[in-house]
Amino acid sequence: MEDTRLVIREAEESDLPSLIGLFAADTMGGHGDTADPSAYDDYLRAFRIIAASPEQTLYVAELAGEVVGTFQTMITTTLTGRGGSAMIIEAVQTRANMRGQGIGAAMINFCIGEAKVGGMRMVQLTSNAVRKDAHRFYERLGFKPTHLGFKMTLK
């Protein structure tokens, strides 16, 4: 019998090939991700930086022993909001053939639960402007498009 329980856990270095594959398959993201073996060391370096940071966590969603999704959380504290902390959710990906099965909602709800336990004043995320389906998804989960984001690519 196939295990149909979704497991959300911290990513391990051994998950890197699956994670790289998820990001490389994303044609809308525009991040320049690739499964080319020559890029592996770049991903490994980034993984190790994230893993060493007490304010960042990289997660995987696993179904029947396979990585089917991923996301990263970061905690930031600012003076605004009376010094409150916020959880930022980044790099949310669900494997293309697994979308529409509740995996994304489970990952985001996991983040919200962790933020509540951690006493965060808010949970926030950004989404590429071209991802209209993702915007509707986040709004269904209770997020509101309250701010306009700006980015400057440096390399």
Task: Kindly give the confidence (pLDDT) of every residue in the chain, 155 residues in length, as a single tens digit, with 9 standing for 90 and above.
Answer: 456 799 999 999 999 999 999 999 887 766 778 888 989 999 999 999 999 999 999 999 999 999 999 999 999 999 998 999 999 999 999 998 999 899 999 999 999 999 999 999 999 999 888 888 899 999 999 999 999 888 898 98
HSE-CB of 112 using CA atoms within 13 angstroms: 10
Residue 145 lies in a domain: no
Q: Is residue 35 part of a domain?
A: yes
Task: In whole angstroms, give the CA distance from residue 18 to residue 21.
Answer: 5
Q: Is residue 1 part of a domain?
A: no
Domain of 62? Answer: 6-140
Residue 147 belongs to a domain: no
Q: Does residue 103 sit within a domain? A: yes
Give CA–CA dist 132/106, Å, rounded.
Answer: 20
Residue 31: give its domain's CATH number: 3.40.630.30
pTM: 0.91
Q: Is residue 149 part of a domain?
A: no
Say if 117 falls within a structural domain. Answer: yes
Number of domains in the chain: 1
